[in-house]
Chains A and B, each alone.
Chain A
């Protein structure tokens, strides 16, 4: 008969429970996959809550999905823990971050076994450090209820009729903001500062992020905003309105391809590889259109009817990352003059 108040077993159970209740780090067990992603992927309205349980069930493992803020912060997090990586997979690095990620040497190369699902032209990393999983086109969106004659080319933006009618975002703090700058760099080359000067009167404001900028646009502050070409599809699908339309320029649209990669030195490399391959399957890709509002790379996925409101761009622009980096460094001075 045990006369002690707490038997050794109970004490051990209590200790074990206390350890489990402790910080998040202690919860990661050996069958756990750790993924860093940007916030909208992890959010309740993003694809995370839908696709992660599917993978967990398939593999019989547990996945810890961690939001790091935006894609740049995902890369920052990986760089910071380079010596002893905790993450296995990074989700959300786009074409602009590929070079930085490779240079920082935080990813390992992996060719997924089902890579045939990726159309040629979307494989944005020939070294296979990043596997693409979705893509979108940056495009100006205009409000057809406020604007009778939208601009037809980039140069039209400089016309006096569009004075203070354009909302942009800071390319240093926002992906669409960077996308607009990329459009200028791709079409104007090194002469983009002169072009920026010509459209300056048309800019109403430069918001810190898409949240604020797009919010002001839908509030009617200005009839033009830089966003994704799929934004009108959202409004058709959920708001039952087709007043917001995408502006496809003859010069072309800049493509944003987002990818995922396996962290160099990942502790669960096999699970990570399985996850990369899972990301290309229709089970994962099928959730993307209505949560990410981006095009899935897997062409077998049927797009919702609302996506047909914006046609695919005739011309796709790509920009040299080094040139874009130079432009971003120059931009504060250009935009202030």
Chain B
């Protein structure tokens, strides 16, 4: 085959007219999904801008600078702690098989499925001064005062963020690490290099882009966090920029100010996003097609076995502590909340006997499926229009914007666009917009690992393009498709902001229901809702992982 056509084929699976249409579709269909609400929100600022401080004046104001500084600091600290908690687990996930491996990997869905207010309550219930762990420690050691008193401080914010997000690191880095070719390491070992040297000179450079990509994502989520820093930080010193945007919209009806702060936040977020895109592409390029062979943990030295088991158990317990606290709280009697626990299934009895809450469960699951399918479809559409090499450039950053946009600003946009609320179709689209960037990245990384040689061989044997897609590419992407679907479904289940703004009153949703229950004193019921949400999401993740390579 001619060298130049071969190169072009490698860059784009659909050459010619079809390719142009496929490349244009995202700009026509996907870009408006997030540009229109953003534009509406910014236009609102332009329209109602009276005399007021200009953009630079707002940027220079001490409280905004303080919020920016805090947002950056807490995001950095949270990311570092999340990496510390997540990397060893990622290594274990990548290199070994052990009972419960799939469950440990499923923890990666928790960050997406937990509405932040519920997470805050669960975290406080577990680690707070009157929390379960302090109560246990005090009982065990006969202490008078609570030994762990870190929750309401900068450390509390950082630890809460880290506990929430480290499973993400485990999942993302675990996948990357499992595909790092083993042969260079083994060769070095044969040549007599020590383990430390192997790690420093061979392993680390190959996983570093993947680690940095995961770190960038965690940084972004923490940077734009709203409820957790404020609730745990102890004061406005611990307010992120999102809080200032919200205060401008709701407290002052000053949309111009909100827009200016959102732009400051957006510039930083896009910067991090650019870093993430770059690193993600580099890590995808460095990995191989199939996961490397995993060794059974049971066959390792007893010391390694014990240390690994301890680490896995400890980190799993940490990740599950807020959820576990909520589970325990949901079993307290509706009414004795906060007092001595009197066990009761009342919350669950109420939940399962109330037709409205049963409907909420069914409808949330349905919406989650719709959102998952929509988001993955968008992701596949984006995927078709790009080359196989995983390089994304500006297009990659642009279409990943939804995760870098302020959710308060987007809510403001929906306020403008849908004054009378909107149907569930619009809500599905909105949630899918928030979810597709992650699905896209997962699929893109998976596809870049398919060796081009496979497609070329099939073409040589006479297979047509669609047949190649159906019989070679898609089956190899099956696992990535499955986990993307589960991820997007989980994001939908835990989403409250858009549901609140678009308010489909005849379509009750679990997340929104839990939020409203909290607003009417009914905390145990809210916890029961939250537990159900996590359960459904957890099931979806396990099922998705079940689509994985058979020998795992």
Contacts and interface: CB of A to CB of B under 8 A. Distances in A.
B152 A204 contact: yes
A206 B236 contact: yes
B235 interface: yes
A42 B251 CA distance: 21
A43 to B, nearest CB: 4
Interface stretch (B268-276, B278-286, B517-525): B517-525
A208 B235 contact: no
Contacts of B250: 69-70, 72-73, 76, 172-173
A140 interface: no
Interface string B498-509: 001101010010
Contacts of B48: 79-80
A336 B419 contact: no
B523 A215 contact: yes
Contacts of A77: 415, 419
A208 B230 contact: yes
Contacts of A28: 420
Interface string A147-176: 000000000000000001000001011000
Contact of A43 (B226, B422, B426, B519): B519
A221 B135 CA distance: 12
B422 A23 contact: yes
A288 interface: no
B416 interface: yes
Nearest to A103: B253
Interface residues of B, number: 67
Interface residues of A, number: 74
A221 B129 contact: yes
Contacts of A104: 253
Contacts of A218: 337-338, 523
Given A172-B243, A206-B230, A207-B230, A45 B522 contact: yes
Given A70-B250, A208-B230, A241-B335, A220 B117 contact: no
Contact of B335 (A43, A87, A145, A238): A238
B426 A23 contact: yes
Contact of A66 (B129, B234, B334, B503): B503
A27 B508 CA distance: 19
A206 to B, nearest CB: 5
A211 B515 contact: yes
A103 to B, nearest CB: 10
B63 A205 contact: no
A247 B415 CA distance: 38
A88 to B, nearest CB: 11
B239 interface: yes
Contact of B247 (A25, A172, A207, A336): A172
Interface string B386-421: 000000000000000000000000011001101111
A72 B251 contact: yes
Contacts of B128: 216, 219, 221
Contacts of A64: 420
A251 interface: no
A40 B516 CA distance: 7
A39 B520 CA distance: 11
Interface stretch (B96-104, B118-126, B168-176): B118-126
Contacts, number: 199
Contact of A216 (B63, B124, B516): B124
A269 B171 CA distance: 57
Contacts of B335: 238-241
B227 interface: yes
A209 B228 CA distance: 11
B166 interface: no
B253 A76 contact: yes
Interface stretch (A8-16, A53-61, A111-119, A326-334): A326-334
Interface in B80-134: 117, 120-121, 124-125, 128-131
Contact of A39 (B120, B415, B500): B500
B462 interface: no
Given A43-B519, A219-B128, A173 B503 contact: no
Contact of B500 (A27, A69, A212, A332): A69
A110 to B, nearest CB: 22
Contacts of B233: 205-206
B20 interface: no
A44 B516 CA distance: 8
B66 interface: yes
Interface in B234-255: 234-237, 239, 243, 246-247, 249-251, 253, 255
B290 interface: no
Interface in A298-337: 328, 331-333, 335-336
Given A73-B250, A77-B419, A173-B247, A333 B337 contact: no
B63 A333 contact: yes
A320 B246 CA distance: 23
Contacts of B196: none
B152 A205 contact: yes
A185 interface: no
Interface in A61-92: 64-70, 72-73, 75-77, 79-81, 86-87
Nearest to A101: B253
Contacts of A240: 335
A212 B419 contact: no
Contacts of B412: 76
Interface string A279-311: 000000000000000000000000000000000
Nearest to B501: A69
B424 to A, nearest CB: 10
B231 interface: yes
CB-CB nearest 5 A-B residue pairs: A72-B250, A220-B130, A172-B247, A239-B335, A208-B230
Given A203-B235, A332-B236, 12 more contacts: A21-B423, A65-B505, A67-B421, A69-B250, A72-B251, A76-B249, A77-B419, A87-B419, A145-B339, A206-B234, A239-B337, A240-B335
12 contacts: A28-B420, A45-B520, A69-B501, A73-B249, A75-B253, A76-B415, A172-B250, A203-B234, A214-B521, A216-B121, A216-B124, A336-B237
Interface of B: 44, 48, 62-63, 66, 117, 120-121, 124-125, 128-131, 152, 226-227, 230-237, 239, 243, 246-247, 249-251, 253, 255, 334-339, 356, 411-412, 415-416, 418-423, 426, 500-501, 503, 505, 508, 513, 515-523
